[in-house]
Amino acid sequence: MTAMLGLCGAGLVSADGRGWTWPPREQVKQDGESEAALRVSRVSPEILTDPVALKKLRRADRFSKMAALSAWDAAADAGLSAADLETGTGIIVTTAFGPHGATFDFLDEILDFGDEGVSPTRFSHSVHNAAAAYIAILFGSRGPTCTLADFRWPLRGGLSLAAIWLREGRGRRIFVTYTEESSKPMDYIAAQRRSTGADGFVQPFRLSSDPRAVLSEGSVCLVLARPEEGRVVLDPARFDGEDALVDIASLREHLAGLRHPGIAGMGASAG
């Protein structure tokens, strides 16, 4: 049985942008793909260049930057100061596929330069928990961090662990981030093993009980605390995986970080 959680803030990075100031939705067509091929929504590179939030993350990979930006915005939405974040903060990153872009970059190096010519930086960014480490560095947080990989219900596992950490007193607030990135090889796999919406898009954050479902990219972060400390009480049992973001979107009236038309659109299309 999972305890109820208090939701204190949220942050979101998606193809539609970040926070309140959203650039136009960018729908990127892959080089050389046919009209029938998969279309994928990507996060614009401009979004991942925030000089303040990403000052300590200049060398970070795309996956880590998306996760960290959503956590940064979630902290702001929750009204947390830098001093608040240094103590009592737990960080959980959940994902289905992890930073595979960094992994493919590393494979490129093996193919191009051989086993003994690869970059150590590219290798360290291909490790799944790099994003959690970057968020901890960004916040100066010495609390627990954990990264969970789950093809079916990544967010649910993170919420469950957050409830445990709060009950055990491992943190007073837990950042639970759910992050996915896209890449050409993963798009190809999605085309072979895809689960798409009626409009032909892979549905961002739409998880299917079919473990072969593939996502578009983005990151959402929730700041969680004990129920009495949240703006709204969240029942983790609602997050059964199929429509996780629809459930999150339903909370947007409470959370400035989620108040965005793109979320409502996703909710409508996934509903």
If you ran DSSP here, which 8-state letter would residue 169 be given?
A: T
Question: In the complex with other proteins, which residue's Cβ is closer, 106 or 255?
Answer: 106
* Residue 3 main-chain phi, psi, to 5 deg: -70, 160
**Is 18 or 62 the residue whose CB approaches other proteins more closely?**
62
List the one residue from 4, 26, 28, 104 that touches other proteins (CB under 8 A). 104
**35 counts as binding other proteins under rule CB under 8 A:** no
Orientation of helix 100-113 relative to helix 62-77, angle to 10°: 160
Give residues 198-237 in contact with other proteins (rule: CB under 8 A): 211-212
Which residue in 50, 151, 172, 250 binds other proteins (CB under 8 A)?
151
Rule CB under 8 A: say whether 36 interacts with other proteins. no
108 binds other proteins (CB under 8 A): yes
Closer residue to other proteins in complex, CB, 2/196:
2
Position among 23, 45, 185, 197 found at the interface with other proteins (CB under 8 A): 185
Name which of residues 114 to 143 contact other proteins (CB under 8 A): 114-116, 118-120, 123-130, 132-134, 136-137, 139-143
* Strand intervals (E) in the chain: 5-14, 17-18, 27-28, 40-41, 89-95, 145-149, 173-180, 218-225, 232-234
CA 122, 15, 232 angle in degrees (round to 5)? 105
At position 123, the amino acid (one-letter code) is F
DSSP-derived letter for residue 252 is G
| Ramachandran quadrant class, 88 (left: phi over 0; alpha: psi -120 to 50; beta: rest) | left
Residue 29 found at the interface with other proteins (CB under 8 A): no
DSSP string, 186-220: HHHHHHHH--B-TTSBBPTT---SSTT-----EEE
The stretch among 11-19, 45-53, 110-118, 227-235 that binds other proteins (CB under 8 A) is 110-118
First to last CA, the chain: 26
Residue 202 vs 249, nearer CB to other proteins? 202
Count Cβ atoms within 10 A of the Cβ of residue 227 and give its class: 0-12 exposed, 13-18 middle, 19 or more buried.
middle
Q: CB nearer to other proteins: give 30 or 269.
A: 30
Q: Which residues bind other proteins (CB under 8 A)?
A: 1-2, 32, 91, 97-98, 100, 103-104, 106-108, 110-111, 114-116, 118-120, 123-130, 132-134, 136-137, 139-152, 157, 160-161, 164, 167-168, 170, 184-186, 188-189, 192-193, 211-212
